[in-house]
Amino acid sequence: LVNNEAGGGKAASSDLCIQLLSHLYFESTPKNPLKSAIARMLMTFPEESHDTVCAHLSASLNKLITAHTTPIQANTVMVAINCCFDNFSLGVSAVSCHVALVLEFIKTSLKSYLLQLSEDVSPAKKMEICQMVHNAVRTTVSLLQKCQTEVRQVVSAETGHKDELDSIMNLADLITIQCRITDSSQMMW
C-alpha cells in the first residue's frame, strides 16, 4: 500500500495515509503492538516522503501537547513523546521540531505534579504522581540525549548566550520549577 500510494502519483492519498498513521501512532498505548507496527510502516516510506511523515508526526504531537487539560492527560502525552525516542528516527525528528514547546510542556507538567505533591493526598495518589514525575524526568533526559543541538539552540536563545555550551547543561536551567514544596518532614512517603 505504501509503495503503491507514494510511487503511483497519488500524493493526496499518500498524504492522508501518513496523516492517519501519525494520528494512530500517538493515540495508541506504548505496549500496543500496533504502535511499533505503525513506526515500522512509517519508516518504510520512501526517503523523499520522510519530510511529509515528519511534518504529520510533528502536527499530531503539537495537537497532543496543546490539548492536554489534566495531569493524567499530560502524563499520557509525556509517555507518547518518550515513545518517539525508542528506535524511531522520524519520531525524534518530529520532537526536535518542537523542542521549545516540549520543554515548556515538561516544565508546566512538573509544576503541576509538584503542586499536587505538596497537597494533602493519599499515599497511593502520591505514588501515582511520583510515577508521573518519573515519566517527565525520563522524557527530559531522552530529549537532552536525542535533541542536543536543538536544546542548545533553545537554551542559547532563552539565556542570550550565543557561545557554544561546552559543559553539560543543568536540568535546573532548563526547567525552572517555581512552586511551593512542603518541608520534607511534612511529606508522607
The predicted-structure confidence for 25-64, as pLDDT tens digits, reads as follows 999 999 999 999 999 999 998 898 899 999 999 999 999 9
Query: In whole angstroms, what is the distance from residue 85 CA to residue 92 CA?
Result: 6
Name the pLDDT band for 89 (thresholds 50, 70, 90): very high
Please give the average per-residue pLDDT across 162-177, as a whole number.
45
Q: pLDDT tens digits, residue range 61-85?
A: 999 999 877 889 999 999 999 999 9
| pLDDT exceeds 50 at position 141 | yes
What are 98-121's pLDDT values in tens digits?
999 999 999 999 989 988 988 888
CA distance 55 to 84: 14
Contact 155, 164 (CB under 8 A): no
The answer to whether position 118 is within a domain reads: yes
Cell numbers placing 14: 499518500
Q: What pLDDT does residue 157 have?
A: 79
Note whether residue 149 is domain-resident. yes
Distance of alpha carbon 175 from alpha carbon 26, whole angstroms? 25
Could you tell me if residue 187 is inside a domain? no
Q: Is 185 part of any domain?
A: no
27's grid cell? 493515540
- Assigned domain for 27 exists: yes
Q: What's the length of the chain?
A: 189
Residue 162 counted as domain residue: yes
The total of structural domains in the chain comes to 1
What are the C-alpha distances in Å from 71 to residues 24, 83, 130, 184?
22, 18, 12, 23
What burial class does residue 137 get, using C-beta atoms within 10 Å of its C-beta: 0-12 exposed, 13-18 middle, 19+ buried? middle
Question: Cβ–Cβ contacts within 10 Å for residue 118, how many?
Answer: 15
State the cell numbers at 76.
499520557
Assigned domain for 137 exists:
yes
Per-residue confidence (pLDDT) for residue 9, from 0 to 100: 54
Q: Within a domain: residue 103? A: yes
Q: Which domain holds residue 28?
A: 2-174
Hey, what's the torsion of the CAs at 138, 142, 144, 148, to 10 degrees? -170
Terminal Cα distance for the chain, rounded: 53
